[in-house]
């Protein structure tokens, strides 16, 4: 089976812009979770989607949003980018909400 | 906050067994212990998980103490490619599941 794929792999944006990141889960997986990783804060949970519904949410401002489509693919959107949003954004998929998560390679976002 | 405590770093000689400890003294009965590792700038890689019994797969062994308050991940024959940050995670097995990563252990394999 193909693994979790994330696009784009690298992205450069400027402050105030918005960005949309995409995640395609492993075939058959219905749960997609998003994480932000920075050197200072480590890996932090953003949100989880299961069957197009947000099941869980971390402590991030409303500028961070996501959605999941009927084919389980997920997108994450960050509006009004700030310098501190520069990070590696990771997506993980699982067959069910309580199952083992498998991570994608991540999208590295740089905000200038 | 993460529910696990791990040493920030460890060294291990190549070819030897790497034993990575993790404390999870507040673990609940329905929580699993998961281990992931992250090689520089890549996504975390699932290694192994367990509830009560010791587990073994092609990558590693997981030893969980009888009181479940700590565990040890064992890489039986460490190689340079095992250099990574290893995360021990306690995962609540209910509807409001949320994975919280701690700082992990940076494992250095010495040639």
Is A108's Cβ below 8 Å from some Cβ in B? Answer: yes
Mean per-residue pLDDT, A24-29: 95
Mean pLDDT, chain B, whole residue set: 91
Is A83's Cβ below 8 Å from some Cβ in B? Answer: no
Residue B22 has a pLDDT of 96
Q: Binning pLDDT at 50, 70 and 90, where does residue A111 land?
A: very high
Selected residue of A24, A42, A105 to mutate for chain B interface (largest B Cβ count, 10 A): A42
CA distance, residue B22 to nearest chain A CA (Å): 18
Residue B1 has a pLDDT of 67
Three-state DSSP class for residue B86: strand
The Cα–Cα gap between A66 and A48 comes to: 9
Residue B98 has a pLDDT of 66
Inter-residue contact A105 to A18 (CB < 8 Å): no
Q: Which residue in chain B has the smallest CA separation from A50?
A: B95
Q: Binning pLDDT at 50, 70 and 90, where does residue A14 land?
A: very high
- Among residues B64, B45, B41, the alpha carbon closest in space to that of B54 is found at B64
Q: Say which range, A31-35, A56-60, A63-67, A101-105, has the weakest mean pLDDT.
A: A56-60
Cis peptide before A85 (omega within 30 of 0): no
Q: Binning pLDDT at 50, 70 and 90, where does residue B88 land?
A: very high
């Amino acid at each position: 089976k193909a693994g979790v794929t994330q696009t784009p792999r690298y992205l450069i944006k400027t402050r105030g812009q918005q960005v949309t990141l995409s995640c395609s889960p492993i075939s058959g997986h219905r749960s997609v979770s998003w994480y932000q990783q920075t050197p200072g804060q480590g890996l932090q949970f953003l949100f989880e989607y299961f069957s197009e519904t947000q099941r869980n949410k971390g402590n991030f401002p409303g500028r961070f949003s996501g959605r999941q489509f009927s084919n389980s693919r997920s997108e994450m959107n960050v509006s009004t980018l700030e310098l501190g949003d520069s990070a590696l954004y990771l997506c993980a998929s699982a067959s069910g909400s309580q199952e083992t998560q498998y991570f994608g390679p991540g999208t590295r976002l740089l905000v200038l | 906050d993460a529910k696990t405590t791990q040493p920030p770093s460890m060294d291990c000689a190549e070819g030897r067994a790497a034993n990575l400890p993790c404390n999870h003294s507040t673990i609940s009965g329905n929580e699993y212990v998961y281990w992931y590792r992250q090689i520089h700038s890549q996504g975390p890689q699932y290694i192994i998980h367990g509830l009560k019994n010791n587990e073994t797969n092609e990558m590693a062994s997981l030893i969980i103490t009888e009181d479940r308050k700590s565990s040890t991940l064992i890489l039986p024959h460490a190689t340079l490619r095992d250099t990574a940050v290893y995360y021990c995670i306690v995962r609540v097995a209910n509807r409001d599941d949320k994975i919280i990563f701690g700082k992990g252990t940076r494992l250095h394999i010495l040639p």
